[in-house]
Amino acid sequence: MRGISPDDVTAIIEGRVTDPFDVFGPRHRGRAGILVAFDPHATAMEAITPSGILRLDAAGQGVFCGDIGRRRRYRLRATDGTRSWEYEDPYRFGPVLGAMDLYLVGEGTHRRLWDALGAHPMTHEGTEGVHFALWAPNARRVSVVGSFNGWDGRRAPMRQRGGGVWEIFIPGLQPGESYKYEIAPPTGAPFLKADPLARLTEHPPATASRVLAPQEWTWADGAWMQSRAGANSREAPISIYEAHLGSWRHRDGRSLSYREAAEDLVGYAQDMGFTHIELMPLAEYPFGGSWGYQPTGLYAPTSRYGDPDDFRALIDAAHARGIGVLMDWVPAHFPNDAHGVAHFDGTPLYEHADPREGFHPDWNTHIYNFGRTEVKNFLTANAVYWLREFHLDGLRVDAVASMLYRDYSRGPGAWVPNKDGGRENYEAIDFLREMNTLAYGEGPPGLMTVAEESTAWPGVTAPAHHGGLGFGFKWNMGRLNDTLDYIKREPVHRTHHHTQLTFGLVSAFSE
């Protein structure tokens, strides 16, 4: 058939199109123009243009082709013999991401990564829809799939851009749509992945991402944020109440929602005289029976308790009562769930290829490749995202010790030394320094970062430019553990162990 080769028809039907904008949509050569469209449910298809209706010829199994001349605006109308439907063709729209976005993503320095990648409702070239963008540099093909296209990866393959980025604008989609990416790896069969930059997810145990509507929340915590900016947090009194939202209190046999916690949890913390609430991890995680320390959706507050604006309502309510909110943040490792970022594009992308560096034996999880700039950018931007977009007053960074040492919980021969032959993880150290520098430099003033670091690593709270890690505070885990151990002893024996009550204060003179 003129305008499309038999090989292209076969590639479309078999889902092997790697350059979809060179196959689908209008392709103009001077005054001539060929339109190719695909809908496996259609038996006939027309292009509706401002100047008339063009019937497309069937090339087989849902592939259609026809002469469109110089026309660039059209809608497609398909029929299966009993019903018909109209839709905009994604392949008549140009790219969305500019050269600077692509450069920064490829360089690993995009400070607002969540604005470039992920799913974003927008008006593009005069048409409303959703823009999808993903980083998957080793994939042969990436497609957006959802109920809107029958979860068929042949329907919406994405345009490959520079720096390993794929993107497509799908007209007509609305906020709330569930979606995943179908990724064809370098070798082997395609598989489905959730969006690492999704800001909204389905309620677990479902694992699809969802398109988030543009933020409409109006913050009412201006006085709090202004007061926080002028406070000296290192000298101010602080008393933190740690809570796991899923188990703290129940109503009718279920966990509290974010908005219910805004009343019950915040009210309790205020009545008890706490200055801050520390919420255990709320980034989306798959296993409901856990505390959330193995997240798969770092940019999405878990949908178990509501949507992102509901989470904002909780923080706003706390600030209205003079209480700060910290959140546990987990950049050390991630689970191997099939929909997560493990082996994301068919290669060890977010993790190390060598399990001696990329797999954690204690938790059966993968370790981020902190030395890869794009991965480091994914994590540092995420820290800033939570602080800016949700007005969190700080992040308590989990499992810092496991990041600092290459031999953490590993025996001889089970770890890879650094370039100097030592056990220090230089890449993780650089990541933590950069994360803290960006958090304090680009987050709202007056925030804090807190390290959960269980060893005697020097300079955890020293400035990064002075050789420290740059944290604002360090959890005094030694005092906690020593005090609990002291209390467990029989009273008659405690007189010989009073040093356990004082030893934990030693680090107060260096951290």
Contacts of 76 (CB under 8 A, 6+ apart): 37, 39, 45, 46, 47, 48, 86, 87, 88, 89
Mean pLDDT taken over the chain: 94
CATH topology assigned to domain 229-475: TIM Barrel (3.20.20)
Q: For 312-359, what is each residue's pLDDT tens digit?
A: 999 999 999 999 999 999 999 999 999 999 999 999 999 999 999 999
Within 10 angstroms of residue 509's Cβ, the number of other Cβ atoms is 6
Tell me the angle at which helices 373-389 and 99-107 cross, rounded to the nearest 10 degrees: 110
- With beta carbons less than 8 A apart as the criterion, state whether 130 and 119 touch: yes
Q: Which CATH class is domain 6-92?
A: mainly beta
d(CA 86, CA 167): 23
For the chain, percent of residues with pLDDT exceeding 90: 84
When pLDDT is averaged across residues 165-169 and rounded to a whole number, the result is: 98
Distances, alpha carbon 66 to alpha carbons 12, 41, 392, in Å? 16, 18, 55
Question: Which amino acid type is present at position 476?
Answer: N
Q: How confident is the model at residue 456 (pLDDT cuts 50, 70, 90)?
A: confident
d(CA 193, CA 208): 8
The reply to whether 99-210 shares the fold of 6-92 is yes
- With beta carbons less than 8 A apart as the criterion, state whether 64 and 57 touch: yes
Q: Using the 8-state DSSP alphabet, how is residue 157 labeled?
A: B
pLDDT at 29 over 70: no
Q: Which residue has the higher pLDDT, 504 or 179?
A: 179
175 torsion bin: left (phi>0), alpha (psi -120 to 50), beta (else): beta
When pLDDT is averaged across residues 122-151 and rounded to a whole number, the result is: 98
d(CA 475, CA 461): 10
pLDDT at 2 over 70: no
Contacts of 97 (CB under 8 A, 6+ apart): 116, 133, 161, 165, 167
- With beta carbons less than 8 A apart as the criterion, state whether 318 and 324 touch: yes
Q: Using the 8-state DSSP alphabet, how is residue 426 labeled?
A: H
Q: Using the 8-state DSSP alphabet, how is residue 1 labeled?
A: -
Q: Give the rounded distance of the alpha carbon of 64 from its chain centre.
A: 37
pLDDT at 71 over 80: no
Beta strands, E only, 25-164: 25-29, 32-38, 44-49, 52-60, 63-67, 75-79, 84-87, 118-124, 127-135, 141-146, 159-160
Taken as a whole, the chain contains a residue count of 511
Catalytic residues: 398, 452
Q: Which of 88, 284, 124, 276 is nearest to 200 (CA)?
A: 284
H helices then E strands: how many in the chain? 13, 28
- With beta carbons less than 8 A apart as the criterion, state whether 332 and 399 touch: yes
The pLDDT of residue 30 is: 59
Q: For 144-157, what is each residue's pLDDT tens digit?
A: 999 999 999 999 99
pTM to 2 decimals? Answer: 0.94
Q: Is residue 266 within a helix (H) or strand (E), and if so which, with residue range?
A: helix 258-271
Q: Which CATH class is domain 99-210?
A: mainly beta
The pLDDT of residue 480 is: 75
Within 10 angstroms of residue 309's Cβ, the number of other Cβ atoms is 17
Q: Which residue has the higher pLDDT, 505 or 501?
A: 501
Q: Which of 147, 194, 140 is nearest to 170 (CA)?
A: 147
d(CA 105, CA 109): 6
Token pair for residue 7? 């090989």
Candidate from 133-137, 251-255, 267-271, 351-355 with smallest mean pLDDT: 251-255
Q: Where are the domains of the chain?
A: 6-92, 99-210, 229-475, 480-509
Q: For 368-389, what is each residue's pLDDT tens digit?
A: 999 999 999 999 999 999 999 9
